[in-house]
Structure 1
Amino acid sequence: MRGQAWALRSLTQAAYIAPDDHPLKGYFNKIVDNNLDWYNTTFVAGNTNQLGFIDNSGFAAVAYTGPGGPKTGMSPWQDDFFTSSIGQAHELGFTKSKTLLDWKARFPVGRLTAPGYCWVDGAVYALSVRATEASPYFTSFAQAWQATFRAPDNSDLVNSTGQRYVDQPCASQLQANWRTQLEIDKRSGRTPWLAGEMTGYASSAEGFPANMQPAVAMAASTGIPNARAAWDVFAKRTIKPDYGQRPQFAIVPR
């Protein structure tokens, strides 16, 4: 998925930066145009899933093994790279990208604002998007969250207290305590979790929440429902990276 993101980013940058009288200007513009036509036709017009992620309609993006078995999960952080690349294409003036950006923005926005999905897990490494390899994609973020946070054998995810993770109030101290207890159970040696601390190396400038930031920033400018609210949730999270030395993901809405 990230390969598609970086390829599209490079193509749009090349088309944008080439001088108007350069012989390759028209070529790069055409290649960008062809790509946007394909993505819009395949995913937006095709309405391949309700959540707004790039799925197997193009390439094998749903390739991760989740609690439901092989090829039930995908990588939100890689998909976020694609959303940010589409957002940059729109900012560079490629108007066909707006339809695709609006569709793609559903995914980061939903992981921060959708009912039944705890935003603390918005940047989870792998997200289950279907129950089994043969099942259709989930139609709600709540389904995806519930399916993801289960034990590897697809049983309830519990710690040594016997309490289920999905029963803990989102972003609460109770949720943080549950996670801390699980770390103790695993003898990981990790410091205690804080209430509202996102999963995925929240303090790292290269962690999964950092990867998510450009996608949320680009989504915030789309005007789709809850887009600005999603940025507000993300901006108020407890633990944030220090981008002083590694600012590559320090992107905010315009």
Structure 2
Amino acid sequence: MIDISSLSKIKKLAGTICGNFNAGRIIPLHLIAESEDIEVFYDHYDKGTFDGMTVYDDNQFYIHINIDNHNRYDSPRSRFTLAHEFGHYFIDTHRIGLKLGILEPHPSKIDKVQFDRIEREADYFAACLLMPEESFQRDLYKRKKFSFNVIDELSKEYNVSKTSCALRFAEIGNHPIKIVYAENGNVKWQKNSQGFPYWNLLNDKKVPEGLVMADYFKNIKTSIENPEKIFAMDCFEGVKSEDSRRVFYEHCIVYENCALSIIWED
């Protein structure tokens, strides 16, 4: 777990950078790179290898962005990748570690819950830089009722992916949600808002039959466009008998062998 004081410092650091560029909702990342004399390369590094990598060589910082991993220049995905790599540059311990060779250059993969402290700190920096808490909360509080449309609209307003927007909402949003990411029918990670009533899914690592994404992995559904009702007893651990038919909603985003679901209760 990241120390709270570290999170506070990272949040303040990202806020200072936003203020320096007098940014609206969409912060100009290319101007940050120019102002710090960081060379950014968008190139082909093979699909599935990495999203971004920060390298220090000959007194110069370089950031490599992998366009083979859907990181087109200034796309929502590449913006989070670049902001994450900026985290490795702006966070003192990361930058100094790279300069001294204590922290080896390593490939970063985005749009997932990180377990390594260094990567979690860079992810948090990216989220604070791209979706500053004050403005993000101001915009989400304009929406009186939560639905997937809130995530969809905010992701477009801030030019970020739906995944990174949902993860940010889970941290600082005004309605409890659960995010589940799976590949080939197996749960890779999940994230809960504080206040979401059920922490764990049934079956641990296998996608529960009661989730909409299970139908996708079983080829019952080839595309999913709208939220669908699901029931607590079919999806979550620790459901009391009186709550067995408690209704939740699931919006599932699918791509090839992957699925991401956002789950909430009215």
Same fold (TM over 0.5): no
Higher helix share: 1
Higher relative contact order (CA 8 A, sep 6+): 1
Greater share of strand: 2
When the two structures are superposed, what TM-score results if normalisation uses the length of structure 2?
A: 0.30
TM-score by length of 1: 0.31
